[in-house]
Chains A and B, each alone.
Chain A
Amino acid sequence: MSTIATLFTRDHRHADDGFAAVEAALLTGPTASALDAWEALEAELLHHFLVEEEALFPAFEATTGMSSGPTEAMRLEHAQMRELFAPLAAAIEAEETESVRDLLETLLVMLQQHNMKEENVLYPLCDQALATAQREAIARRLAATSP
C-alpha cells in the first residue's frame, strides 16, 4: 500500500494546484471565480488539517508517546494558517487587491514551509511508527472527501 508520506504529500501537491488556481483567477477572472477557487482550496486545506489532527497525529502520539514534539508544532502552524483564512476570503470579496496578494503570499510561504517539515520529517516518522492497519484507516479518511 501507499505510505503516509506518499498520500499526504500528494494531497499537498494538489493544494498547490488549488493555490495556483486562486492566483490565476485573481489575475484574469471576475471576483466570483476567485472566491470560488479560494473556497475550494480552503475546504481542501481544512479537510487535510482535520485528518491530521483527528487521525494521524493522535495515532502517532499514542504509538510513540511523543505528544509535545513535532505534532504539537504542526497543530500550532495549522492554527496560524487558519487565522489567515477569514481575512483572505473577506479581502477577495472586497476586491482589495493589495491585501489579497499580501495574505496569499504569507499563507503560501507558511503552508509550504509547513509542508516541507511534514514531508521531510514527520511523515517518514509516522510511516516508521504506525502499523499497516492504522495507515490504511488514515488513508481512507484522507481519501473520503479528498479529490
Chain B
Amino acid sequence: MKAQPLDVKSSPPYAVPLRWFALAPPMLALTGLLLLFEGPTAVLSRWTPAALALTHLTALGFMGSVMLGALVQVLPVLAGAVWPPMMFRWHLLPAAWGTGVLLLAASFLWPNPALTGTAAMLLTGTLAVFLSIAFLALASARNPAGGDLRRALTGFALTALLGLGLLAQREGIWLADHFAWVSWHVASAWSVWGLGLVAAIAYAVVPMFQLTPPYPERFRARWGKALWLLPLAVGAGVAFGNEVATGTAVLGALLLVPPFTVQTLQLQARSKRPRHDATWKLWRMAMVSTLAAPLAALLAAGDVLSPWWAGVIVFWGGFAAVICGMWVKILPFLTWLHLQQRPGRQGFPPTMLRITPEAQADRLWRMHALAAALLLAGLIFPEPFMRLAGLAVIACAAQLGYILWLAVRTYRRWPQTTQAQVEVPPSTTSPG
C-alpha cells in the first residue's frame, strides 16, 4: 500500500541518513590532513592542486554528504514528502558518492583523465539518482517548505552541471572562459544550493530549537526566489568575461545574502530560551560569517585580501558551523526517536542529553571556534598557523566522529549495556 504524507512508513530507517553522515568525519579529517601536510603552500593560490582538493573534500565530502543525509531525513518532516522505497534500499548511493569525492580530490592532486572521468561519472550518477528520487518524493508537496527544498535541489543540479563543464574544460574536451565559469559555479554552489538549503532548514529549526518568532511569510516567499537572480546574473555575465562574472557575483552576494542573515540574527536575538546552548552559538557564528562573506569577497575582488578569506569564512565560519550545530541535535534526537519506536521495547530509552552530553556539544563548539581562529591566523601567518589549523580541523572531525559513535553505540546496545544508567525513568530513581 502506498505511504501517505507523515505516514510512519515514509520515515527513513535509522541507518539511511546515518550512512551519509558517516562519510563526513573522515572527509573532514582528510581536509585537515591536507592542510597539515601542505601547510602554507595550500593557500598560496586558490588554483593549486591542493587548494582544489581541499575545496572539494570540504564542499562535497564533508558538507555535501551531511546535506544529502539531512535531506533524506527532513523531506518527510518539513514538506510531508513521501520517499519512494528505493531511497531506503539503495545502500550503495553514499558509498558511490564517497568514492567519487575521493577520486575527484585525487584527480586534482594527481591529474589523470581516467581518475577525472571515473569521479565525474560516480558523482554525477549518484546525484542524478538522488535528485530524481527527491523530486519524485516532493512532487505532491504543495507547501512553502516543498518549494524551498525544490529550489535548493535545483541549485545543486545547476552547480553540479557547471562543475561537470569545468572538468570537461580541464580535460580539454570543451573550451570556454574557465575562470568566468568558476565564478558561476561558485556563485551557484554558495547561493541557491548551499544557502538555499540552509535557509529551507533554518525556517524550521531556528524557531523550533531556539523558540524564536517564525520567519515572516513574505520574506520567506520572496527571498528564496530572489536568490536565483545571483546565478542567473552571473551566468549572463560569463558571456562578457571573468571580470564581469566575478563583479556580478560579488555585487549580487552583497545585495542578496544579508537579508537572510540579518533576519536570522534578529530572530535569534528574540529567542525565548533563557540558556544559549552550543547549537545557538554555532548558528550565531554561521550567520555572522555569512554576513561577512560578501565583504570578504568584495575585498578579494579588489585584491585587498586573498580569496581564501572568503573561502574560510563561507566554508568553515558558515556551513561547517551550521553542520556542527545540527549534528549535536539531530543525532541524539534520531537515536532516541528510533529507540522509542523500537517494536517490543521494554523500558525507558535514553533521552537526548544522555546520548550526546552537553559537554560533548560544547567541546565541538570550542574546537570549531579554535579551528576558525587558526584558519584565519593562517591566512596572515601561514607558517605555522595553517598546519596548526589542519590539526584543529582533524580534532573537529574526531569530535564529530565521536558524537556519531556515541549515538550509534547507544542505538545498537540499548537496553543491554546502558540499562543501569538510563533504562529506569527519573521518577523511579529519584531519592525523594
Contacts and interface: CB of A to CB of B under 8 A. Distances in A.
Given A16-B272, A98-B353, A105-B352, A116 B204 contact: yes
B210 to A, nearest CB: 10
Given A73-B8, A83-B340, A116-B204, A102 B272 contact: no
A54 interface: no
Contacts of A106: 333, 336, 351-353
A120 interface: yes
Contacts of B353: 98, 101-102, 105-106
A19 interface: yes
B416 interface: no
B272 A94 contact: no
Contacts of A72: 7-8
Interface residues of A, number: 48
B274 interface: yes
Contacts of A27: 274-275
A98 B4 CA distance: 39
Contact of A90 (B4, B341, B427): B427
A115 B204 CA distance: 10
B46 interface: no
A76 B11 CA distance: 13
Most chain A beta carbons < 10 A, residue from B145, B333, B426: B426
A17 B272 contact: yes
A91 B430 contact: yes
Contact of A112 (B8, B209, B272, B351): B209
B78 interface: yes
Contact of B426 (A19, A28, A87): A87
Contacts of B275: 23, 27
B273 A20 contact: yes
Contacts of B3: 69
B216 interface: no
Nearest to A101: B353
A74 interface: yes
B4 A102 contact: no
B362 to A, nearest CB: 13
Interface string B346-377: 00100111100010000000000000000000
B432 interface: yes
A37 to B, nearest CB: 12
A73 to B, nearest CB: 5
Contacts of B80: 70, 117, 120-121
Interface string B240-265: 00000000000000000000000000
A96 interface: yes
A71 B427 CA distance: 30
Contact of A109 (B144, B209, B273): B209
Given A73-B7, A121-B80, A87 B348 contact: yes
A111 to B, nearest CB: 9
A112 B351 CA distance: 16
A24 B209 CA distance: 16
A93 B97 CA distance: 50
B354 A87 contact: no
Interface string A75-87: 0100010011011
A87 B427 CA distance: 5
B143 interface: yes
A71 B25 CA distance: 38
Nearest to A102: B353
B249 to A, nearest CB: 33
A113 interface: yes
A93 B427 CA distance: 9
A117 B340 contact: no
B354 A94 contact: no
Contacts of A19: 211, 272
Nearest to B354: A102
B329 interface: yes
Nearest to B8: A73
B6 interface: yes
B13 interface: no
A20 B272 CA distance: 6
Contacts of B341: 76, 80
B430 A96 contact: yes
Contacts of B209: 108-109, 112
Contacts of B333: 106, 109-110, 113
Contacts of B145: 120
A3 interface: no
Contacts of B425: 86-87, 90
A103 to B, nearest CB: 6
Contacts of B432: 94
Q: Return the 4 tightest CB-CB contacts between A and B, nearest first.
A: A69-B4, A90-B427, A121-B80, A94-B430
Interface of A: 16-17, 19-20, 23-24, 27-28, 66, 68-70, 72-74, 76, 80, 83-84, 86-91, 93-94, 96, 98-99, 101-103, 105-106, 108-110, 112-113, 115-117, 120-122, 124-125
